[in-house]
Amino acid sequence: MSTREKLLVLLREHTGDFVSGAALTEILGVSRAAVSKHVAALKQQGYAITASSGKGYMFRDTPDLLLPDEIRHGLATRVFGQGIIDYHEMIGSTNDRAKELAAQGSAEGSLVVSEDQNRGRGRKGRTWFSTASHGICISMILRPSMNPSEASRITLMTAVALAETFRDITGLEVTIKWPNDILIRGRKLSGILTEMSMEMDRVDYVVVGVGVNVNNPADHFPAEVRDIATSLAVETGHAVSRVDLLRQFLARFESCYALVEGQGFSQIMKRWKALSDIIGRTVAVDLIGSRIQGRVEDVDETGVLVLRDGDGQVHRVISGDVLLQDL
C-alpha cells in the first residue's frame, strides 16, 4: 500500500474525529510536509478532509467518484482491481485504453475506469451513451488460458456476474437478453463489449468492457434510446452507490471466472439459462440483410443461438438482434 493509501485508511478509520499531524507522521514514517502534501492531493480528488492547525486532520466524506482507492477499499478480490486501476474523469473509450495497456503487457486483473466517455463503443459499431459520474464505464484485462474459440464464454460469464449482482442489489427480476444485454422490466440497464487479441491457437488477452446505467435520471437518456434504456436509480427509486456496486460485481466476476477456468463451463451456462428467458420462445433474428423466424431450441456453450424455423430447419445464429414474437 502506498503512503497515500495508508493515510486514507488511517483518516477514514477516524471519520469525524481529528487525528494529529504528529500521530500521522509517526505511524506513516514520513515528514509533516509529506502528510500535508498527501492530504492536499486527496482533497484535490474530492475527499472532504478538514485541516486544523493544532488539531490535525479530520476525514468527513468520500467523493462520489470511482477513485482507485475507493474501489480497493474493502474489495473482496484477489486479482481484479488489486493491481493497476487506470482512472480517468473522461476518456474516449475505456476498451481502447485497456487494449493499449494489455498490448504493453499489463497483467490480468488490471482495470480502466472512467467517469465518462466521449467515444464509448457498443456492439456492432454502435455508440454507448454515458453522462459524467452517473454510471459505470469499466474495462478489465484478462489473460485466460483458453482456446480463442472458447472466448465467447467470457462474455456469457460476464452477463451472469452482472445480472446476479444487479438482482442481489435491487431485489428485482433481472434478465439477460441474448447475446449479452442485461435488462430490467425489458429495458436495457447494462451492456458488454468483449474484444480479444489472439496468436495462432491461444488467446493473448481479452478486454471486457462493461457499461452500467446506475444513477442516470430517465430524461438523461438520448431520445433514440429513452424508451428502451433504464438505470438502477430509475428502477429502484433511489440512488445506488456506484463504488459498492462495482466492488460487488468485481468479486462475483472473479468467482465466475475461477469457475470457468477451473471447472469448465456447465455451471455458468446453467446460471445463464436461468437468467435468460429466450429458450423455448418464438423469435425473429435480424441478420445483415435478412431475418430468420423460429423457436429457440438452445443456446450452446459458445453462445450460439440454436433456432428451428417453421420448416423444421435448424439455424445456428452467432450474432444478431432478437425480437421476441410471442409476448
Angle CA 153–303–199, to nearest 5: 50
Question: Which part of the chain contacts ligand BTN (CB under 6 A), choosing from 4-12, 50-58, 155-163, 205-213?
Answer: 205-213
For residue 107, give the 3-state DSSP assignment: coil
Given the DSSP bridges, would you call strands 187-199 and 305-308 parallel, antiparallel or unpaired? unpaired
211 is an interface residue for ligand BTN by CB under 6 A: yes
The binder of ligand BTN chosen from 139, 158, 194, 213 (CB under 6 A): 139
Q: Which is nearer to ligand BTN, 8 or 140 (CB)?
A: 140
- Report CA-CA distances (Å) from 184 to 90, 129, 136, 163: 27, 18, 17, 9
Contacting residue, 137, 184, 246, 275, with ligand BTN by CB under 6 A: 137
The answer to whether the beta carbons of residues 90 and 65 sit under 8 Å apart is: no
CA distances from 318 to 283, 285, 286, 301 (A): 15, 11, 12, 12
Smallest separation, CB 96 to ligand BTN (Å): 7
- Minimum Å gap between C-beta 209 and ligand BTN is 3
**175-177 sheet: strands from edge to edge:** 85-88, 111-114, 136-142, 202-212, 187-199, 181-184, 175-177
* 191 belongs to the binding site for ligand BTN (CB under 6 A): yes
Name which position in 120, 144, 179, 320 contacts ligand BTN (CB under 6 A). Answer: 120
> Least CB distance from residue 8 to ligand BTN, whole Å?
26
Strand partners, 307: 296, 315
Residue 303 found at the interface with ligand BTN (CB under 6 A): no
Mind giving me the DSSP string for 14-73?
Answer: TTTSEE-HHHHHHHHTS-HHHHHHHHHHHHHHT-EEEEETTTEEEEEE--SS--HHHHHT
Is 95 near ligand BTN (CB under 6 A)?
Answer: yes
Give me the least distance between CB of 73 and ligand BTN, in Å please. Answer: 22
- Among 192, 206, 250, 260, the residue binding ligand BTN under the rule CB under 6 A is 192
Q: At what angle do helices 152-170 and 242-263 cross, to 10 degrees?
A: 140
Question: Does 156 interact with ligand BTN (rule: CB under 6 A)?
Answer: no
Give the interface segment with ligand BTN, choosing from 69-77, 203-211, 236-244, 295-303 (CB under 6 A): 203-211
Phi-psi region of 105 (alpha: psi -120 to 50; beta: other; left: phi over 0): left
Note whether 161 binds ligand BTN by CB under 6 A.
no
- Report 166-185 residues binding ligand BTN (CB under 6 A): 181
Segment near ligand BTN (CB under 6 A), from 7-15, 74-82, 123-131, 146-154?
Answer: 123-131
Q: Where do we find the cell 455458468? A: 268
> Which C-beta is closer to ligand BTN: that of 97 or that of 247?
97
**Which is nearer to ligand BTN, 121 or 271 (by Cβ)?**
121
Which residue stretches of 220-301 are H helix?
A: 232-236, 242-263, 266-275
Residues that bind ligand BTN (CB under 6 A): 93-95, 117, 120-123, 126, 128, 137-139, 181, 191-193, 209-211
